[in-house]
Structure 1
């Protein structure tokens, strides 16, 4: 699929009908499941991580299918609920020193199965979509035993107290961009504390291009310091420590050009940050998160016509899994709860996936989470 730059079975077979049928039967076999394919993603990644400091970068993206209400079996709501498809959450291994992509480690593919009536705050973490940020990292831990160090890295959605708490137990570090103005152990707030820190350095940092933003040089001002993060006031989190020692690295753009939204990252990390160089290193590592956005972009723009050839949702998911396994090795730099994908839900369906219809923005949270959650929710 990578060599041929397509996932269309007819094009891959180059007119060989027997080969096309064999591949089609392989994807349709009962033993070719999404779980088995996800498990195979990491076959070549384990040896590649040995002796390296690995950035385990995770994010979520939506896969949109053009469909009708009569042919929507097995698909769930995505986006704002006006589209249907599946969600993909991969964990990508990247070398912290040179930024090379080592391969995929683990992941999840799921659909949203309906509206939830229980409040988000009243549900256990295991009953929330946000659990994927923890379970995906934990699932990959056995593959990373020979790595010199592991840092799990995510965007604002991964700002979860339970993830920070699990890092020590699982023997990995965490870097996450802050989403919530959390309470600290001294009853002050995170944003209040970071704003009060003195600016200690400035640097010009190259920011890569994104969907609607060209690459540019940004003039960043640096602050950093140690904090003691308080546990959210939620009865379901009482089993977690009352507070956690972390570091915050605050970088904000100064002198941004007119019409450009200034960059501002508050990065929470379990790494010890005691010097200016330590702080800039955290910023540099967080910049590597854009590799997974490029990974999604490649998957969604490579031969979009080929995706329309998929004649079952099940086979589409299997092809996507195979393609992600290969792509990970070659690339260099609703309101509903999760229903884990079951091929039985979609046998015999003929769906047309539209992979270009959406830009590679992360499929973040369900509709009930689309509005800003209280800090206690996470």
Structure 2
């Protein structure tokens, strides 16, 4: 790894720079390295207030502030460190690289005056654009870690018309960059599928796809396709005419303003040759690309909201209802990244409440939180024991004896009050962390807030335990 990846503050090297990222995270940085100390503090006391992270220590608060204001520290460095750890655990696995963006709001006119770029409808708010790529097990839904993270502060000013600019000059380039990062970081995986929502429906992304990557995207644009009858037709009209090839029932999870429900879905699929857009496409792109269309329509009438109608496009070959259903299941894993963003915001670190005035310093804090937030979500994903992950995927293996000791003190006399998961698994740790976060073990399932609080309590216990050892 390049020396620049290990720069901290004055250029001093540190192999432990911002260690972690949710995959085998080891929170034992050298005490003099400010970046590592900040990462450790974010895990011990998740949040965005620098004073709170420093736990009242003025010197530590100044260390964190200097780190965040240090121009030598970059988001790229943090992303590469986290990605390197993710790359280790995906070898031989069927991996989904789920990518999406989220706007972070830091105020209105005052935030804009401080240098935060325009976000929100009309661009009247000031904030940052966060784009993340997560590695997820396609079979179990286990969260392996970060593949890439970018934090963008939009600059004001008039730009050329969209069609007059190349993709590289647009914000949409982030979707291609995420795809290329997945190809590079996850190259040891058995299979890579980049999953994204409608913003990623870009012809150039499919045209420039690396050979070791598949794409699965929800369609946003009604594109021209080649048809056997008249030579050309539109994708949506073609999709609507496809015969139904399967029907099944799935559970649609609850969301803000929507209750969980059972939905009956009709499935259609077909190979299509998507034609190159007439306007704005690079001249070197092929005139057409052969892809697979998967159409998913809800036949039941929901009590709330509109029925589901997803048109998905993929580079995977789909020649049976089972494979079409697999594409649907892959796409439904995309909800994991929505939970991730919620963990960084209202459910966990409350990053939008950070008290940092300088946009460049805020960019660095957002990147650090984006790396650390993976650990909380890993615990949420592992709570039921369905992800088959080991403790070392999110904790220092040396933490296992302490976790087992804490578990024994939290367990009750009845079977339901005991930790049901095998020792050494992430599910075992998730049960302990949830109980420390005030989950009673009976009702509901612990979410990001509970895990965040529990993780804070665990690191407080660990800190006290280590102090006790030094006093012996």
Same fold (TM over 0.5): yes
Which residue, 14, 26, 43 being the options, matches 2:55?
A: 14
Which residue, 78, 87, 92 being the options, matches 1:51?
A: 92
- CA distance, structure 2, for counterparts of residue 262 and residue 101 of structure 1: 29
Alpha-carbon spacing, 1:49–1:305, altered in 2? closer, same or farther (3 Å):
closer
Question: By how many angstroms is 1:142 displaced?
Answer: 1.7
Question: By how many angstroms is 1:120 displaced?
Answer: 1.1
Alpha-carbon spacing, 1:236–1:8, altered in 2? closer, same or farther (3 Å):
same
Alpha-carbon spacing, 1:84–1:201, altered in 2? closer, same or farther (3 Å):
same
Which residue, 229, 236, 251 being the options, matches 1:191?
A: 236
- CA distance, structure 2, for counterparts of residue 311 and residue 84 of structure 1: 12
Answer yes or no: is the 8 Å Cα contact 1:206–1:216 preserved in 2. yes
Which residue, 151, 168, 173 being the options, matches 1:126?
A: 168
Please tell me whether residue 312 in structure 1 is matched to residue 312 in structure 2.
Answer: no
Answer yes or no: is the 8 Å Cα contact 2:97–2:193 preserved in 1. yes
Deviations 1:270-329 (CA, angstroms, capped at 9, x unpaired): 000000100000000000001001100110112538933334332222121111112224
Number of the residue aligned with 2:222: 181
What is the TM-score normalised by the length of structure 2?
0.67
Number of the residue aligned with 1:207: 252
Question: By how many angstroms is 1:71 displaced?
Answer: 6.2
Number of the residue aligned with 1:354: none
Alignment of 1:1-378 (within 5 A): 1-69=42-110, 72-80=113-121, 81-167=123-209, 169-186=210-227, 187-234=232-279, 236-301=281-346, 302-304=348-350, 307-332=353-378, 333=381
- CA distance, structure 2, for counterparts of residue 22 and residue 76 of structure 1: 27
Answer yes or no: is the 8 Å Cα contact 1:102–1:329 preserved in 2. no
Question: By how many angstroms is 1:125 displaced?
Answer: 1.1
Alpha-carbon spacing, 1:96–1:28, altered in 2? closer, same or farther (3 Å):
same
- CA distance, structure 2, for counterparts of residue 115 and residue 123 of structure 1: 15
Alpha-carbon spacing, 1:234–1:303, altered in 2? closer, same or farther (3 Å):
closer
- CA distance, structure 1, for counterparts of residue 351 and residue 187 of structure 2: 40
Deviations 1:191-221 (CA, angstroms, capped at 9, x unpaired): 1211111111111111122233222211111
Question: By how many angstroms is 1:27 displaced?
Answer: 2.3
Answer yes or no: is the 8 Å Cα contact 1:55–1:96 preserved in 2. yes
- Larger Rg, first or second structure (1 or 2): 2
Deviations 1:238-268 (CA, angstroms, capped at 9, x unpaired): 2111111111111111121344300000000
Structure 1 runs of 4+ with >4 Å offset? none
- CA distance, structure 1, for counterparts of residue 275 and residue 105 of structure 2: 38
Higher relative contact order (CA 8 A, sep 6+): 1
Task: State the secondary structure of the residue aligned to 2:140.
Answer: coil
Larger proportion of strand = 1
Alpha-carbon spacing, 1:259–1:16, altered in 2? closer, same or farther (3 Å):
closer
Structure 1: which 5+ runs fail to align? 334-378
- CA distance, structure 2, for counterparts of residue 309 and residue 323 of structure 1: 14
Larger proportion of helix = 2
Answer yes or no: is the 8 Å Cα contact 1:177–1:267 preserved in 2. yes
